[in-house]
Amino acid sequence: MTRVLARLTFALAASLPLLLAPAAPAAAAEPVPLYKLVRSLQGIQDSIVRGEIDAIGMQRFLLNEIDKRLRNADMSVFEDTRNVDAALIYAMSGGNPETLDFLADRDVAGNFDTRITSILRRYLNGRGAMTLAQVKEVVPEYRHTAIGPYLELIGANALMEKDRETALRYFDWARLSAPGTIVEEAALRRALFLTTRKGDSARALPYLRRYARRFMNSPYASQFADIFVGLVLDNPKALPPTEVSGILSLTEPRKRREIYLRLARRAAIFGNHELAAFAADEAKRLSDDAEPRALALAELYSAMVSVPNGNIDEVMDRLQTVSDEELPPKDRFLRQAAEIIVNEVVAPPSEESLTQVRRARVDKEYRDRMSELARTAKDPRRDRAAVNSVRGDDPDSGDAATRQQALDARILETENFVGYGRSKLLEIDALLNESDQP
């Protein structure tokens, strides 16, 4: 039924150019009322967050058409409060902020509530923090009106940094007042972001489940995916593999595979063998030979998590079968780091390493090599040279013996290799993320 309604809305919007054109040379047809144009925009946007991605082009057309109508409208049309609400909803739905400025400046009859236009003009121009007092006054007053859910959403966004509890109440009002709409999708996503950022997993989980049931096919669900992966790792009892499978079954296979790959990567880095193996296997199952990148990533994460308790030779063979060409820079780097740790396990210690290398020197040298790999991770041509240098295989490196001693000493001085290896992978991943910052 949802798809049928979405297609009907799409068809209605597609017919707008005909409705707006003259019916015959002798007499022009009545133009579609402004508020009906905005209703069509709302229908299109709601269909988009339900997965009708093809409607994005029509959304763009409607935004442009409404903008023209607002700028050319006689101000008398705003004596109809439906058109006033339509203009405000347009502004809060991705419309041109300058058009709201234009209308507010021309409103000599007082059809627009100046408190609302003041809030929106400041918020849409990046000055939402200056509206907090007005938001708390106006939002409850307009709660049960046509613009109420939109104002709740705008108000919650403005209050997120200063008044978290009020912001969450506003998000809840917004989503309950406009179920199944783009307002509900945005409110759930923002509430989920706010609760997880504050470490409040107990309050985040209900938002996560609601979003997963309703909006997994939204084009904005990529933001949800990162939050979802973090919550799965932090809440293994509340989100076991069976629950994860149930949630992700609600989305289409390609998106499901991408989320499983993200989950496998993070679980492998954190040393969660069961979860990483589960996610990697699911990603493989959702891939085929025509998708070598997805298969390569799944194999990489599965091999990485086998380092602590698998056969080291087999693990190394699996790592080396993964082609660098199929991996993005971050994962190419991660593969190299895993190979380094495997090499540390199998490298024989030397007598000199027992007495000549101090722990502080080893740690500094190891960090320096990880920094070098992070710097070269974005340049595939330098990746292999960096790995060879860390291994001591670079013929241009004049200090290969010292490097080998350092690696030997690290093995002897590490009492728990499993815990140590995991911590280093976390440091490596954090280091690479730092290298990606502008």
Contact 77, 34 (CB under 8 A): yes
pLDDT per position as a tens digit, 280-338 = 888 888 877 666 777 777 766 666 666 555 555 565 666 656 666 666 656 655 555 56
Contact 80, 62 (CB under 8 A): no
Contact 391, 438 (CB under 8 A): no
CA distance 436 to 416: 31
User: 96's torsion region: left (phi>0), alpha (psi -120 to 50) or beta?
Assistant: beta
Least confident range from 59-73, 246-260, 264-278, 415-429: namely 415-429
Q: Is 27 helix (H, G, I), strand (E, B) or coil?
A: strand
pLDDT per position as a tens digit, 170-222 = 999 999 999 999 999 999 999 999 999 888 888 999 999 899 889 988 988 88
Contact 414, 420 (CB under 8 A): yes
- The DSSP letter of residue 217 is T
pLDDT, greater one: 260 or 181: 181
